[in-house]
Amino acid sequence: MARDKLDKVTASSLRTRKLGGRLVGDRIVAITAYDASFARLLDAAQVDVLMIGDSLGMVVQGLENTLAVTLEDVIYHTRAVVRGSSRALVVADLPFMSYQVSPEQALQSAGRLVKEGGAHAVKLEGGRSVCAAVTRMVDAGIPVMGHLGLTPQSVHVFGGFKVQARDEAARDRLLADARALERAGVFSLVLEAVPRAVAQWVTESVSVPTIGIGAGPECDGQVLVCYDLLGLFQGFVPRFVKRYAELGESVTAAVRNYVAEVRAGQFPEDRHSFADAPRAEGESPDEARYASGPSQASGPKGRA
Ligand code: KIV
């Protein structure tokens, strides 16, 4: 099937890409997104899943970890991503302390992500301790994605962002959690920062697709934080990140040019400036609007 004819991705279409314990067809591609402009670009690249991760706390808000991100923050960013996307499944994170208190709290928070944010599904961190919440949300009609391994909301328990499930007991706990989430009704499962062999073992043991981040190539899909993949985040680069571009460097170089040209009086040129009266011919409706709109008459304010 031609790539531009791909159907809209849904939680159930994603779930059924794994049949009889094996992925059928292409691996699942997920990426984080936080605003409409990026969502449009990423959706055009035909990713399957756009995740409004609480990683927004680190890459957008400049925080050290994800713990201070609020439900309102995620709703705000989810709305923007939904507006910018058309094909991808939009999955919004339940932030720290928006679901841990009780299954009812989880349902209320997830309901707001769907109702106010427009999310198609929600994601939460944790294993057996969140299964009652998962079932409550799924029973209410909200598709849920799980997240195991390095669950960043537990950073203080782990003592840092460290690879998980490295000993036998932890591996067994991880598999038991994955199976419990599967029974509770998740449609998919993120595995973060666990050894490749462990991720493979879990992937082969559950019927729902696994989506890895720092979990090796045997997972049914992959997710990366878009700022990491595009080279926009200048902080620590984890080993599992591949930078497909260095947009951070391009941004600084472009803005250096702008700074130099403004300082030298080289920008704006005549072609970036408005005439007193609309140019009679060859002027687009936009140009005319910008030239004669109230914002021009009353000073340099808006774009419209
Ligand atoms: O917060 C986040 O961005 C995530 C994804 C990377 C899975 O949880």
- Tens digit of pLDDT for each residue in 237-289? 899 999 999 999 999 999 999 999 999 999 999 999 998 876 656 666 666 66
The count of domains in the chain is 2
Task: Give the residue from 85, 54, 87 showing the smallest Cα distance to 71.
Answer: 54
Instruction: Catalogue the E-assigned strands of 6-88.
Output: 18-19, 22-23, 28-32, 49-52
Q: How far is the CA of 105 from the centre of ligand 1 (A)?
A: 21
Q: Are residues 24 and 139 in the same domain?
A: yes
Residue 303 domain flag = no
pLDDT of residue 281: 62
Q: How far is the CA of 217 from the centre of ligand 1 (A)?
A: 18
DSSP per-residue codes, 149-175: ES-GGGHHHHTSS-----SHHHHHHHH
Q: Are residues 128 and 276 in the same domain?
A: no
Q: Are 209 and 28 in contact (CB under 8 A)?
A: yes
Q: Nearest C-alpha to atom 3 of ligand 1 is from which residue? A: 53
pLDDT digits (tens, 9 = 90+) for 129-167: 999 999 999 999 999 999 999 999 999 999 999 999 999
Residue 302 domain flag = no
- Which of 72, 116, 192, 269 is catalytic? The answer is 192
Angstrom distance (rounded) from CA 52 to CA 30 = 11
| Position 304 confidence tier, pLDDT thresholds 50, 70, 90 | very low
- The model's pTM is 0.91
Q: Closest ligand 1 atom to the C-alpha of 125? A: 8
Q: Are residues 87 and 177 in the same domain?
A: yes
Domain boundary (227, 242, 257) is at 242
pLDDT digits (tens, 9 = 90+) for 14-33: 999 999 999 999 999 999 99
Residue 11 domain flag = yes
| Ligand 1 mutation target, pool 90, 161, 192, 226, most atoms within 8 A of CB | 192
Q: Are residues 80 and 164 in the same domain?
A: yes
Q: Are residues 171 and 258 in the same domain?
A: no
Q: Are residues 38 and 145 in the same domain?
A: yes
Question: Across the chain, what does the average pLDDT equal?
Answer: 92
Angstrom distance (rounded) from CA 93 to CA 55 = 9
pLDDT digits (tens, 9 = 90+) for 36-63: 999 999 999 999 999 999 999 999 999 9
32 close to ligand 1 (CB < 6 Angstrom)? yes
- Both tokens assigned to 168: 């036998």
Q: Are residues 169 and 269 in the same domain?
A: no
**Secondary element (H or E) of residue 122:** strand 121-123
199 close to ligand 1 (CB < 6 Angstrom)? no
The residue range of the domain holding 78 is 3-242
192 noted as active-site residue: yes
Q: Are residues 235 and 262 in the same domain?
A: no
| Ligand 1 mutation target, pool 144, 189, 190, 226, most atoms within 8 A of CB | 190
153 close to ligand 1 (CB < 6 Angstrom)? no
Q: Are residues 196 and 292 in the same domain?
A: no
Q: Are residues 135 and 273 in the same domain?
A: no
Q: Are residues 259 and 227 in the same domain?
A: no
